[in-house]
Chain A
């Protein structure tokens, strides 16, 4: 498949010289990308790099079946071009973003609207798609919500209880992460990376560290890679458990809701045991990790992990055994496999549509090259499937951790990565608990960041939630939303 691609291939967590990235006119890049996406590739990142008066577009695609990534770029361009979105809807948000940031106008984009701002200011409220008709009513929810959650605006077009269309407006948490990274890395960069999405601290920190290591041409010590795997899977366990509890809470099924909420805390405390912070801040650094697991703490972690896994099994049993819960989950918010592939879903949301799509399996890097868990897939694409995939991943991550805690490599946990190589394009993918975390860095002649692009899994998946709500009861929105559980700050950047 990829042999016929004219993109420059590269592996996950590696870099290639900027000069070796094939360079085409913009229309050609769109054509080539379109051809590769038709061959089964997936768009990981699509970004603009300002140069002179124009902007270069860079496309990073993934051939999951061939376990390889590929990159290409355009000549600096300005003005309009024929959009990629009509043929490949998975590009829709990327093209809107590049248009918003650099003014490259994708002609033929079906819904060209800013991603994070409107009328020059954040957030992106403003014009919404409207369904006309006397029977149609509009429901606006947010950005201030009743729960303690992040801000986002949801505009429903309803006919009675049925949702005809949902449009999601974000940008309320925009804080200029990407723009602040230009010229970096700065002293604050590492901390900012850990806060791109606070619940995916390990995921984003690992992606950033991998990018830095790729640019320095040096891998982290094996023991550090092992520690990162442990932390990443603990993060997955905590969040998936919390999600199952939140789903139970939204259908007012209290036993599982209360239990999962508590057990999530147990998993977070294991991360705290590892590095002193419940969300894993301060653990992952370029070149390695800052905290080691001595034998004493290792056995303590293994013991507490086992106990928490037993408890989560019990709580999940309550959830799956309750007919009233299944009645709510089944058939709610269904996304078909073809829709999922078309819009480029990632993570558990994609796997719940039957797509075998897991960076740990497709593009393994770090310790995941040596230790893998089976990909958790469920075919039905509804809330039930998304909950079920989470439960399968809890079991498989638990199993993986149980095995790996006894297989720790010896050695240092930290090396000193050298300076960044100049004029390189580095790409790192990490399967965070929510899906594919993608970091792309381009260095300038001095080895500083010329452009740094972060693609949180939420960037791909928000449209999935909007599609899942089509034809659903508006009262089922909370469980559909919870079943995706997407990040606002990871999207808003």
Chain B
């Protein structure tokens, strides 16, 4: 019973906190640009507004148009439950849970792309094509990072895997995972979350025809994914989980916040890459993670 309650509680924390991050990100960008910017809670307002709206449905779209975002959201929420939260560990933890995490993320992507194709619009087709093309590279980088952590700790359980390397390994992993975070969450320089230009979009293009609650679910899912990657990055690089409980929680929250601000700064100071350069950067991220893997492997043998 307590275990069940704990899961509910953790889920509530994930669901409630996730939409805060885009708000902080946008506030950072506004601050750099000298604007006041939207309120930090803007995404909450947007979600509430979208939830009350009705849905515009194409007569040609199959039920997958609605089911896609829903399944993707559930997959992301389940993935979130697997991620250990500092001293509290993961809500669900078992041997090989990290593989499930990777697969859940892939499933979420598949469902979003599927729903995008359902609309039959050329924009969404392009968006989905771009999303899955770049995923080939960013997933490779993510899996390599996971492998390096696994070799480092000799475990395939997220709870024990996240004992970060020190020195060069941590730096390589941090750089690689940061690039993966930017790519997976459609941030500059990979994608421009603020653009209104359909021809240049990746993630936004996939949601162009969604409205009302399905759109709210897509937006909320995206914010959960961002939080998930921020937590993973923090714990994979910094020895947060070896600290005392209270300090660890504070350190985790602080790291997540500062990386969020960092993403905002990257977005403020860097122009977006042209599409043909994106694979270059993702390959670099993959290589960084690969070198971290080599370090974990050979470094550990000595």
Contact = CB atoms under 8 A, between A and B. Distances in A.
A46 to B, nearest CB: 33
Contact of A332 (B125, B197, B274): B274
Contacts of B200: 250, 475-478
A112 interface: no
A107 to B, nearest CB: 36
A444 interface: no
A487 B277 CA distance: 31
A307 interface: no
Contact of B268 (A147, A255, A332, A473): A255
B187 to A, nearest CB: 10
Contact of A139 (B123, B272, B274, B275): B123
A323 to B, nearest CB: 9
B33 A139 contact: no
Among A147, A252, A332, max chain B CB count under 10 A is at: A252
Contacts of B188: 252
B56 interface: no
Contacts of A140: 122
B275 A322 contact: no
Interface string B198-240: 1110000000000000000000000000000000000000000
Which 10 pairs from chain A and chain B are nearest by CB? A253-B271, A324-B271, A146-B196, A252-B272, A258-B33, A252-B192, A251-B271, A478-B197, A139-B122, A325-B271
A162 to B, nearest CB: 10
**How big is chain A's contact interface, by range?**
20 to 34
A351 to B, nearest CB: 24
A476 B271 CA distance: 13
B36 to A, nearest CB: 12
Contacts of A146: 196-198
Contacts of B189: 252, 324
Given A139-B199, A146-B198, A250-B197, A474 B271 contact: no
B200 to A, nearest CB: 5
Contact of A141 (B35, B192, B198, B267): B198
B298 interface: no
Contacts of A64: none
Interface in A48-104: none
A327 interface: yes
**How big is chain B's contact interface, by range?**
20 to 34
A311 interface: no
Interface string B104-135: 00000000000000000011011000000000
A206 to B, nearest CB: 34
B270 interface: yes
A248 B267 CA distance: 13
Nearest to A475: B200
A252 B193 CA distance: 9
A478 B195 CA distance: 10
B276 interface: yes
Interface string A324-342: 1101100010000000000
Contacts, number: 84
Interface string B12-36: 0000000000000000010011110
Interface string A248-266: 1011111101100000000
A4 to B, nearest CB: 48
A161 interface: yes
Interface of B: 29, 32-35, 122-123, 125-126, 188-189, 192, 194-200, 267-277
A252 B272 CA distance: 6
A479 to B, nearest CB: 9
Contacts of B268: 254-255
A255 B32 contact: yes
A138 interface: yes
B245 to A, nearest CB: 39
B33 A475 contact: no
A368 interface: no
Contact of B197 (A137, A147, A248, A258): A147
Nearest to A258: B33
A475 B199 contact: yes
Given A140-B122, A252-B192, A258-B33, A477 B271 contact: no
Given A254-B268, A474-B126, 15 more contacts: A146-B197, A146-B198, A250-B195, A250-B197, A252-B192, A253-B270, A253-B272, A255-B268, A257-B33, A258-B33, A324-B189, A324-B273, A328-B274, A475-B200, A475-B275
Nearest to A257: B33
Interface string A115-140: 00000000000000000000001111
A140 B123 CA distance: 9
A254 B32 contact: yes
A139 B125 CA distance: 10
Contacts of A137: 122, 125
Given A140-B122, A324-B270, A473 B34 contact: no
Contact of B195 (A252, A327, A473): A252
Contacts of A328: 271-274
A477 B275 CA distance: 12
A254 B267 CA distance: 8
Contacts of A254: 29, 32-33, 267-269
A251 B272 contact: yes
Contact of B199 (A253, A322, A477): A477
B33 A138 contact: no
Contacts of A475: 199-200, 274-275
Nearest to A137: B122
A485 B98 CA distance: 50
Nearest to A325: B271
B271 A322 contact: yes
27 contacts: A137-B122, A139-B123, A146-B198, A147-B197, A161-B275, A251-B271, A251-B272, A252-B189, A252-B192, A252-B270, A252-B272, A253-B272, A254-B29, A254-B33, A254-B267, A255-B33, A324-B271, A325-B271, A327-B271, A327-B274, A328-B274, A332-B274, A475-B199, A475-B200, A475-B275, A478-B199, A478-B200
Contacts of A252: 188-189, 192, 194-195, 267, 270-272
Interface string A302-327: 00000000000000000000101101
A138 B267 contact: no
A476 B110 CA distance: 26
Contacts of A250: 195, 197, 200
A140 B34 CA distance: 37
Contacts of A147: 196-197
Contacts of B195: 250, 252
A255 B267 CA distance: 10
Contacts of A477: 197, 199-200
Given A141-B199, A252-B192, A473 B276 contact: yes
A478 B274 CA distance: 12
Contact of A473 (B123, B196, B275): B275
Contacts of B34: 258
